[in-house]
Amino acid sequence: MNAKASKNQLTSIEPAYYEAVTEAIRKEAVKILKEETVVGVVGYLPGRRKGTATPALVTSVEEAEKLIFSPACVNNLSVYLTKAKKGVLKQGKVGIVAKGCDMRALAGLMTESQLQREDLFIIGVVCPGVYGFGVERTGTLTEANIARKCRECTVHMPEGADVAAGTHAELADLTPEEAEEMARIEAMPQAERWAFWKEHFSRCIRCMACRQVCPFCYCEQCLCDKNRPQAVESSPRPAGNMAWHLVRAMHLAGRCGGCAECERVCPMDIPLNLLNRRMAKELKELYDYEAGLAPVEKGPLNQYKEDDDQSFIK
Amino acid sequence: MQIITEQNLRNLIDLLVKEAKLVVGPKLSGSVVLYEPLTAGTELTLDALPRRSSKELFFPVCEDILSYKREGGGMKVTDVDRSKFPETVLIGAPPCDAGSPSILDAVMSWDYKDEFYLERRKKSTIVGIACTKGDDACFCQAVGLAPDAENGSDLFLTPLKDGSYACNAVTEKGQALVAAHKNLFAEGAGAEPVPFVDQAVQKLDLVKIKKWLEEHFEDPLWERIADICVGCGACAFICPACHCFDINDEGSTDDGVRRKHWDACGFAKFTNHASGHNPRDVQNKRYRNRIMHKFKYYDDKFGKTLCTGCGRCIRACPVGIDIAEILETINGKAE
Ligand code: SF4
Ligand code: SF4
Ligand code: SF4
Ligand code: SF4
Ligand code: SF4
Ligand code: SF4
């Protein structure tokens, strides 16, 4: 089976691998529901259309037996455990299916005191990758249909889960498209870079899908919804759009877990993850900090140390 | 039958642009196809369904409705001069888009007349095109339209196997467009039409669905959907039929603009009253409103269904909520 093949030779991940992960998830979900370890499990169910999946909150054994994992399981389910979706699941310990990149969000949410580790049962997925947007959904994952973020994944093997579903499998020799794109933009003169983002933001329709799927956008009052008085123009026009995206990038700096959900859901194809990555790079350079690998006491932007570098204040 | 070749269709666009008309059609813009002003016939692309619907031609994402400025002791208010809106031709809209303005006309000219929308409608001609490229999210047939439905088009084109188009002038506006550019159209038998796409969703019984909705204002279905809906506006914003908007004054207390822009029932603040009370305070009430508005309320008031089956919301929903699947469920549930 492919999953056992050596990393260097893998050019496709066959449906059999996802089927094996599916079996493992079902087994575990059924077990923890039967044993009443959890009140529910957040996972994925198949969608009506071929090669699609949708998040699901399952509370019965029958439903748990229908859970799946496939390349269509793109969502970061941790958003369902945040304040933004409060009340979705009954109080109590909750099971959640989490890919490596989703685990970072869980760790980040723990850092921000939004979640307690002991309230979670994490079914980690040893994840070879998921579909990109608008690709052919054949069931087999290849270089042609894998998501951009997965091309540079460093967390195929989730750490810190209660159980792991799947063995190791990943595609070899993928071009790091995002890193290349970021390098290209960083090399641009400032005016050109400004024009690049202006052009992208001019298309933003302020549907807020990027905010609504983000596990870290859990504020109960978003600055951008405020209209008495209005803080940021809420009409989809270049000025307000630019302000909105700057506010968001700043607000997510040092917090964003890099799941790239904001970019995936943008109906206008705005490459938001480039902004996130750039902010993450700043945090790495300034504070030697990477968000969400493991829960920490405090993130760099919500604490103060006497010996902090003050040289930027002029 | 009248025929227009692909080259002549592009020439028609060039001519219209020369006549100082605003010509809007599907055009590649970055990585997405959108309805945008065409400056030349070569820019028209008919390869993909545009990401946003053509409703924005009449109901823009955002538009100024007046401006204000403090002057002397008082406030000077200036209206937008609607007579300056240009004569417009929308070209290349598939039936699920071409059909939507004729549905929206009802609400826009009801007790309150939306003069911005109506002025643009009056000055527009719609050239629809039969659709041969749908995907598994499309369900226009299930809601009473079809890939070859002429509803809403002034002039309707059907792609033929030899690359040309059969033309049917559906309305006087369509006839006028053809008459003014006679030399581009030829009289002919025409080749065979390109076959239409098969759709996965069976024809829905909209009467039955409406009846079920009438009897199920409260139903576990709404909670099941609401549990996973993240409350964004993606589904409403890209929908050809959704038309909710918000109005904001933007600027300072001395100088600014009043703007009308898209709103969506998914948003938590949708229907939030100035008092702070929100009658649709939780997500399931909001999603219920989406379905009720489209398949019950609009029908009650105007005798029309507020969905053209374009499938855009299905493709775009971040969490895979599938309106066609929900309708099929309701269709099966009702007696
Ligand atoms: S980034 Fe890694 S863990 Fe996340 S979906 Fe892609 S391959 Fe899986
Ligand atoms: S998802 Fe895209 S279009 Fe919607 S608000 Fe975010 S950036 Fe704008
Ligand atoms: S900002 Fe985007 S990439 Fe970062 S956590 Fe939020 S959704 Fe994920
Ligand atoms: S509700 Fe969905 S399928 Fe129906 S017209 Fe709107 S976007 Fe299209
Ligand atoms: S719903 Fe699909 S098949 Fe029907 S007209 Fe629109 S794009 Fe074409
Ligand atoms: S696009 Fe999906 S998640 Fe967003 S409001 Fe609509 S149904 Fe809910």
In this structure, of A80-89, A108-117, B166-175, B255-264, the range with the lowest mean pLDDT score is A80-89
Cα B70 to Cα B58: distance, rounded to the nearest angstrom: 31
pLDDT tens-place string over residues B56-74: 999 999 999 999 999 988 9
Whether residue B52 and residue A225 make contact (CB cut-off 8 A), yes or no, is no
Cα B327 to Cα B254: distance, rounded to the nearest angstrom: 50
The 3-state secondary structure of A42-68, one letter per residue:
EEEEECCCCCCEEEEEECCHHHHCCCC
**B269: closest chain A residue by CA:** A225
Is residue A7 pLDDT above 70, yes or no?
no
Interface pTM (ipTM) of the complex?
0.91
Instruction: Give pTM, 2 decimals.
Output: 0.92
Pairs of CB atoms within 8 A across A/B: 112
Residue B44 near ligand 5, beta carbon < 6 Å: no
Whether residue B248 and residue A268 make contact (CB cut-off 8 A), yes or no, is no
In this structure, of A6-10, A185-189, B36-40, B292-296, the range with the lowest mean pLDDT score is A6-10
Q: Which H helix or E strand runs over A282? A: helix A272-287
User: What per-residue confidence (pLDDT) applies to B283?
Assistant: 73
The model's confidence at residue A224, banded by pLDDT at 50, 70 and 90, is: confident
DSSP A15: H
Identify residues of A whose CB sits under 8 angstroms from chain B CBs: 47-50, 52-57, 75, 79-80, 84-85, 88, 199-200, 203, 205-209, 211-213, 225, 227, 230, 233-237, 240, 261, 264-265, 267-269
Q: Pick from A211, A196, A213, A153: which is nearest to A178 by CA?
A: A153
The model's confidence at residue B171, banded by pLDDT at 50, 70 and 90, is: very high
Amino acid letter for position A268: M
Is residue A99 pLDDT above 60, yes or no?
yes
Q: Note whether A130 and A150 are within 8 A (CB).
A: yes
pLDDT tens-place string over residues B234-272: 999 999 999 999 998 888 889 999 999 998 887 777 767
Whether residue B228 and residue A49 make contact (CB cut-off 8 A), yes or no, is no
The pair of three-digit structure tokens given for residue A75, joined into one six-digit string: 């969502």
CB distance from B319 to chain A under 8 Å? Answer: yes
Cα B235 to Cα A310: distance, rounded to the nearest angstrom: 46
pLDDT tens-place string over residues B187-214: 987 789 998 888 888 899 999 999 999 9
**Contacts of residue B112, Cβ cutoff 8 Å, sequence gap at least 6:** none
User: What per-residue confidence (pLDDT) applies to A120?
Assistant: 94
Q: How far is the CA of A306 from the centre of ligand 2 (A)?
A: 39
Cis peptide before A71 (omega within 30 of 0): no
B228, B238, B320 ranked by CB distance to A267: nearest: B238
Is residue A5 pLDDT above 70, yes or no?
no
What mean pLDDT do residues A26-46 have? 97
User: Cα–Cα–Cα angle for B157, B161, B167, nearest 5°?
Assistant: 20
User: What per-residue confidence (pLDDT) applies to A268?
Assistant: 95
The pair of three-digit structure tokens given for residue B196, joined into one six-digit string: 């239409």
Sheet holding B255-262, edge to edge: B74-79, B62-71, B255-262, B245-251
Is residue A2 pLDDT above 60, yes or no?
no
Q: Give the number of the atom of ligand 3 that is nearest the alpha carbon of residue A213.
A: 7
B34, B228, B267 ranked by CB distance to A56: nearest: B228
Helix pair angle (B115-122, B100-108), 10° resolution: 140
Is residue B322 pLDDT above 70, yes or no?
yes
Q: Which H helix or E strand runs over B167? A: strand B165-169
